[in-house]
């Protein structure tokens, strides 16, 4: 629901901007220090082959602006200065700002102008730090790095930054390997999200093929979320007490398992719908086990204290693991647990009461 609301808002904003400016284009601008009279190239890619879209000769001030017609879907572009490249995402018709300097163009820079730009900058900084720390040896098996990147992807699996991470190669080797059991689950989550939210994106078909290639599918196989039995979750609530999902399932006829981010804009409205169901069905044996993956534990704790159901905090060290267990590809995500098993995945929170009635 949150992702759908975000998508609608984004499309509405893009339409409004296009109507006001009369231009269906995006812009990259900024300042490159110490690059007087050097040529800055704007590049795009097709099937991994990068080619020049535009160029500009940088003045002494280093200021530049390049605009280009919107592609109609999110994409990754890059700026090239001599032999150095800097990647940035474009979602629609926004403006991304780049600030760097010529002698460290691809290493010491800032990206601004969109959430995706800041996420991609964070990703590249983490990768550069990992490369510097181990000279690139074994980076594909760096569990801490991969867990942090998985958190970024699962927070917005249908986003262009998730695609960027999955297709990143370091020292000639893919960061996420489709033959690796853990990696393929991440690839599957992103493929599912693209298939659901971006069916017409040219990358969707590629992601589906990448996912299915490791599973040796039949000709009729499609990318769908697998049904899973109840996999236990053990996390602490706001009072410091360990709360197990299995205990909640044993003590109640039905449990609503919800993964969420309290700090998200749509979270209050979502919790209102959960509360309606709680007030209606709690006396009949239903409770809610709500897992927060907020980056700020204090924000979660303040909100959790006001809620009548079980609220637990999923720290960064466990975030990706628990989300992967339940194939969570977007937040919030809700399941119904009945008879000790996952009975149903609720895609539309407004139908939760109707769904719960079948089990109570």
Q: What is the mean pLDDT of residues 312-324?
A: 74
State which of 75, 93, 109 marks the end of a domain.
Answer: 109
Q: Residue 83: is its pLDDT beyond 80?
A: yes
Average pLDDT over residues 181-189: 85
**What integer is the mean pLDDT of 334-343?**
90
Q: Are residues 100 and 130 in the same domain?
A: no
pLDDT for 135 beyond 80: no
Is 229 inside any structural domain? no
The mean pLDDT of 315-325, rounded to a whole number, is 69
Instruction: Kindly tell me if the per-residue pLDDT of 325 is higher than 80.
Output: no
pTM beyond cutoff 0.75: no
> What pLDDT score does 18 carry?
41
The pLDDT-based confidence of 13 (bands split at 50, 70, 90) is: very low
Residue 168: inside a domain, yes or no? yes
When the pLDDT of each residue in the chain is averaged and rounded to a whole number, the result is: 83
pLDDT beyond 90 at 142: no
Residue where a domain stops, chosen among 224, 242, 257? 224
Q: Which pLDDT value is given to residue 322?
A: 78
Give 266-281 pLDDT, tens digit per residue: 889 999 999 999 999 9
Tell me, what's the pLDDT at 136?
A: 52
Q: Which domain holds residue 22?
A: 2-109
* Per-residue pLDDT band at 229 (split at 50, 70, 90): low
Q: Residue 265 — very low, low, confident or very high, per pLDDT cuts 50/70/90?
A: confident
Looking at the structure, do residues 220 and 137 belong to the same domain, yes or no?
Answer: yes
Question: What percent of the chain has a predicted confidence (pLDDT) above 70?
Answer: 86
Q: pLDDT value at position 114?
A: 93
Whether 12 is in a domain gets the answer yes
CATH number, domain at 321?
A: 3.40.30.10
Q: Which tens digits make up the pLDDT trace of 90-121?
A: 988 999 999 999 999 999 999 999 999 999 99
Is residue 350 located within the same domain as residue 256?
Answer: yes
How many distinct structural domains can be found in the chain?
A: 3
Residues 188 and 215 in one domain: yes
pLDDT band at 61 (very low <50, low <70, confident <90, very high): very high
Question: Are 59 and 163 in a shared domain?
Answer: no
- 81 pLDDT higher than 90: yes
Judge whether 114 and 75 are in contact, CB under 8 Å.
Answer: no
Which stretch of 66-75, 206-215, 238-247, 339-348 has the lowest confidence by average pLDDT? 206-215
Asked if the model's pLDDT at residue 26 lies above 60, the reply is: yes
Per-residue pLDDT, 273: 95
């Amino acid at each position: 629901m949150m992702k759908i609301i975000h998508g609608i808002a984004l499309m509405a904003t893009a339409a409004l901007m296009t109507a006001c400016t009369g231009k269906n284009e995006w812009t990259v601008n900024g300042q490159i220090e110490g690059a007087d009279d050097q040529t800055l190239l704007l590049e795009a890619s097709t099937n991994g082959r990068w080619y020049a879209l535009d160029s500009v000769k940088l003045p002494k001030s280093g200021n530049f602006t390049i605009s280009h017609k919107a592609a109609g879907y999110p994409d990754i572009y890059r700026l090239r200065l001599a032999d150095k490249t800097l990647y940035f995402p474009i979602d629609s018709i926004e403006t991304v700002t780049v600030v760097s300097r010529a002698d460290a163009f691809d290493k010491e820079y800032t990206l601004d102008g969109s959430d995706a730009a800041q996420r991609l900058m964070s990703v590249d900084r983490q990768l550069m730090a990992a490369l510097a720390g181990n000279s690139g040896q074994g980076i594909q098996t760096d569990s801490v790095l991969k867990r942090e990147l998985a958190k970024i992807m699962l927070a917005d699996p249908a986003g262009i930054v998730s695609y960027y991470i999955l297709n990143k190669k370091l020292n000639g080797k893919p960061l996420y390997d489709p033959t690796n059991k853990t990696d393929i689950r991440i690839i599957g989550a992103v493929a599912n999200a693209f298939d659901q939210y971006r069916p017409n994106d040219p990358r969707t078909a590629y992601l589906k093929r990448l996912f299915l290639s490791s599973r040796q599918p039949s000709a009729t196989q499609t990318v769908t979320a697998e049904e899973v039995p109840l996999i236990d979750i053990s996390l602490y609530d706001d009072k410091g007490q360990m709360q197990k999902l299995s205990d909640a399932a044993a003590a109640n006829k039905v449990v609503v398992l919800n993964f969420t981010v309290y700090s998200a804009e749509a979270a209050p409205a979502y919790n209102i719908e959960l509360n309606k169901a709680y007030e209606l069905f709690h006396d009949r044996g239903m409770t809610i086990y709500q897992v927060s993956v907020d980056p700020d534990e204090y924000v979660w704790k303040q909100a959790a204290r006001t809620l009548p159901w079980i609220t637990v905090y999923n720290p960064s060290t466990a975030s990706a693991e628990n989300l992967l267990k339940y194939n969570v590809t977007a937040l919030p995500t809700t399941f119904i647990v009945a008879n000790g098993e996952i009975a149903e995945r609720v895609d539309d929170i407004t139908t939760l009461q109707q769904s719960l009635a079948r089990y109570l």
